[in-house]
Amino acid sequence: MKIRFWGVRGSIPSPSPRTVRYGGNTTCIEVRTDNNTLLVLDAGTGIFQLAQTLLREMPLQTHVLLSHTHWDHIQGLPFFTPLFVPNNSVHLLGPHDVVTGTGVEKALQVQLQYSYFPVREAEMKADIRYTTIPPESPFAIGDATITAVMLNHAVVNLGYRIDCNGKSLFFTGDHEPHANIYDPTDAEYSDYQALIDEKQAAILKIIQGVDVLIADSAYTAAEYPRRKGWGHGTFDSSIQLGVRAGAKKVFCTHHEPTRSDDDLEAALAEALARNNLPPGGPEIQLAREGLEIVL
C-alpha cells in the first residue's frame, strides 16, 4: 500500500515562501492498494495536483472518501479533472449530515450552484456516484477494507481506517479530543465522563495497531485553551493518540495556515520534548506535500 500527501494545510490554502517545504494546499491524501485501487482521502485544494498525475491513467475508477464537508476539505473537488472525462467513474463517499438531513452528495451539489461555479454537475462527463457511510461498519473497496468511526468536530466527521493485506492506516480528518463539559463537582460529571470514556474506547479500538496514523495537529498546547471547542487537535494530542493506539508512525497534519515551515518544525520539537515516547514508541513526523510512504 502506498500513501502520498497532496495537501496538508488546514482552513485555507497558504502558498508562500514561508510554506514551500511542507506545502500550502489543503487536505488531500492519495492511497494506492496493492492491486492499485485508488482511494482519495478528502478533496482539499491538493486534489488538483493529484488530478494532473492521473491524466495518463484514464479511464479510471476513483473513490473519494470525505471526512466531512467543511470548505477546506472539499474546495478542490470541482477542479478534480477526472470528473470531466467520459468513461471515468468517481465515487464520493462520506457521512450523513444530521443537521440538514443530507448525504455526501451535498459536497458537490452545493459548490456547483450557478452563482458560484460555471459548470453544473449535469455537464460533468464522468459516472458520479454517492454513498453515505454508516460508522463502524467495515466495507470493501477493491482489496481494501474501510472502517469509519465518528470523531469529534464541529460537524459530523468520519475518521477512516484502511486495511490492505496486513498493512493499515488511519486518517482522522478534523478531530478534537473529547473533554468533559461539566465541572468535577457537578452531578452530571460522572455520567458524561462515562460517555466520553466509551466513545474514546471505541475510537481507540479501531485505530489500534495501525502502521500509519495521520492526525489533526492544528494547534500547539499553548494555543489550544483559546481554541477549545473549535474541533481540532494539537501536536501533543496526536503524539499521545499514537502512543495509546500503538501506531508505528504518526504524521501530524492540518497545519495551521499562518504557521511557517520553521514554526512547524519548532512546534513539533517542543511537543516531542514534552512527551516522552516509550521504548519502541511511534515515529513522529510532520506531513509534507509530496511525501510518499510505502507499507
One digit per residue, the tens of pLDDT, for the chain of length 295 reads 999 999 999 999 999 999 999 999 999 999 999 999 999 999 999 999 999 999 999 999 999 999 999 999 999 999 999 999 999 999 999 998 877 788 888 888 889 988 899 998 889 999 999 999 988 899 999 999 999 999 999 999 999 999 999 999 999 999 999 999 999 999 999 999 999 999 999 999 999 999 999 999 999 999 999 999 999 999 999 999 999 999 999 999 999 999 999 999 999 999 999 998 999 899 999 999 999 999 9
In a domain, 295, yes or no: no
Residue 276: how many other CB atoms lie within 10 Å: 8
Domain limits for position 71: 2-287
Alpha helices for the chain (secondary structure H): 46-54, 71-74, 106-109, 189-207, 224-227, 235-245, 261-274
225 vs 135: CA distance, rounded Å:
30
175 vs 167: CA distance, rounded Å:
23
Q: Do 254 and 8 touch, CB atoms closer than 8 A?
A: yes
By CB atoms closer than 10 A (0-12, 13-18, 19+), residue 3 is buried
pTM of the model: 0.96
In a domain, 101, yes or no: yes
In a domain, 104, yes or no: yes
In a domain, 209, yes or no: yes
In a domain, 293, yes or no: no
Specify the number of domains making up the chain: 1
In a domain, 152, yes or no: yes
In a domain, 281, yes or no: yes
In a domain, 265, yes or no: yes
